[in-house]
């Protein structure tokens, strides 16, 4: 018969609690800090002259944002880094998403992509774009040929 020697150390309760915590962290990965896909909330506003896109980007630096605008859509992408407060801490609850994100929004009206401007303050990204005329027609004159 083989025996296994177990040394409980000076504080059995602490060691036991650590072992139980480890088991629950293996069973419930929600208690671990992991990178996840997130989709920042975005609002799109329209006035007679412009389109305005607001995006909730708390925790990002403006250098970590990438914005592309074309006539009919806007793409906002970037990376939000995880906040490390303690070195050897375990998360008991992790709800703040982090990692790479990308949002593509179809705009309700065509815009002049060259007119787009962006500002970022207090965790809110604001992108403004001038709208193109909706149903502007161009009359073509027929020239007589000789």
Work out the widest C-alpha separation in the chain, in whole angstroms: 113
Is residue 140 assigned to a domain? no
Residue 8: per-residue pLDDT: 53
Look-up of token digits 């630096």: 61
**pLDDT at residue 85, as a whole number:** 74
Domain assignment present for residue 5? The answer is no
The reply to whether 52 falls in a domain is yes
Determine the pLDDT at residue 5: 52
pTM: 0.66
The answer to whether position 137 is within a domain reads: no
Residue 114 pLDDT exceeds 90: yes
Which of 93, 41, 101 has its CA nearest to residue 76? 101
Look at residue 72 and tell me if it is in a domain: yes
49-99 pLDDT tens trace: 999 999 999 888 888 899 999 999 999 999 888 777 777 777 777 778 888
- Do 21 and 32 meet the contact criterion of CB atoms below 8 Å apart? no
Number of domains in the chain: 1
Helix (H) or strand (E) holding 14: helix 12-27
> Looking at residue 59, which CATH number applies to its domain?
2.60.40.790
H or E stretch at 45: strand 42-46
- 120: Cβ contacts below 8 Å, ≥ 6 apart: 57, 60, 62, 65, 126
pLDDT tens digits for 96-113? 888 889 999 999 999 999
Lowest mean pLDDT among 1-5, 16-20, 36-40: 1-5
pLDDT band for 31, please (50, 70, 90 cuts): very low
Position 142 scores a pLDDT of 83
- Could you tell me if residue 6 is inside a domain? no
Q: Domain of 111?
A: 12-130
């Amino acid at each position: 018969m083989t025996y296994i020697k177990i040394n409980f150390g000076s504080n059995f309760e602490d060691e036991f609690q650590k072992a139980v915590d480890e088991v629950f962290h293996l069973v419930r990965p929600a208690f671990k800090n992991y990178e996840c896909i997130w989709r920042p909330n975005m609002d799109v506003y329209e006035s007679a002259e412009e389109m305005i896109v607001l995006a909730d980007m708390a925790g990002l630096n403006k250098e970590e944002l990438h914005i592309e605008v074309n006539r009919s859509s806007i793409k906002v992408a970037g990376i939000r880094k995880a906040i490390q407060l303690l070195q050897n801490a375990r998360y008991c609850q992790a709800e703040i998403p982090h990692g790479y994100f990308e949002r593509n929004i179809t705009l309700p009206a065509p815009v002049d992509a060259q007119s787009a401007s962006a500002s970022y303050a207090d965790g809110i990204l604001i992108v403004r774009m001038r709208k193109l005329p909706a149903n502007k027609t161009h009359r073509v004159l027929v020239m007589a040929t000789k």
